[in-house]
Structure 1
Amino acid sequence: MRILPHISITHSPAYNLILSNVPGPQAQLYFLGCRMDSMFPLGPLLGNAGLNITVMSLNGELGVGIVSCPDLLPDLWGVADGFPEALKELLECSDDQPEGSNHQDS
């Protein structure tokens, strides 16, 4: 990261979203003998990015963390509320369906 202060950026970067997916452990984790039921992945807002979405798995479950700049995205909950339907649409398009799925090939 030392090189960044020496780079001259004369224009705004052509992005406004940072998206990160982190594959986590596929086994149950424990901390001081207590079972970890979930993880809350959060990432930073860098540069001109107004939205950061970080996704991380833990023991077969998916955690999603969403951080926004309120000046650039005042309705973060609107984005968050749309995630379940968007993930459902992605799964319907996927060939890799979870067990018990109602997906049918067309």
Structure 2
Amino acid sequence: MNQAIRFLSIQQKNNIKFLDSSSIKLNLILKKMFDSKQYKQAFELVDEKFDTCTDITIASAIKACAVSKDYTRGINIHRKLSPNSMNNSYIQGSLIQFY
């Protein structure tokens, strides 16, 4: 039990987002929208729920910006990223593809 508490404490200090049911649902909805090329609606949802998005979702949004050629939105997403998100390899890869 103490190890679990210590682990959670370390993760919180590192500012890692934990998945809860709302972020999982959001990820699934956005994935379906991106896959069906409903970019406008998906980007509006990303803007509205940005704080709930996981790094994987943000990486997908950046890739969708590249595919849809919505460069302004991609740059805006990039500007909103936290330092921890900037260190995420999925986001780094998406940014490389975007730029």
- TM-score, normalization: structure 1? 0.27
Greater helix content: 2
If asked which structure has higher relative contact order (CA below 8 Å, sep 6+), I would say: 2
Whichever structure has more strand as a proportion of its residues is: 1
After TM superposition, the score normalised by the length of structure 2 is 0.28
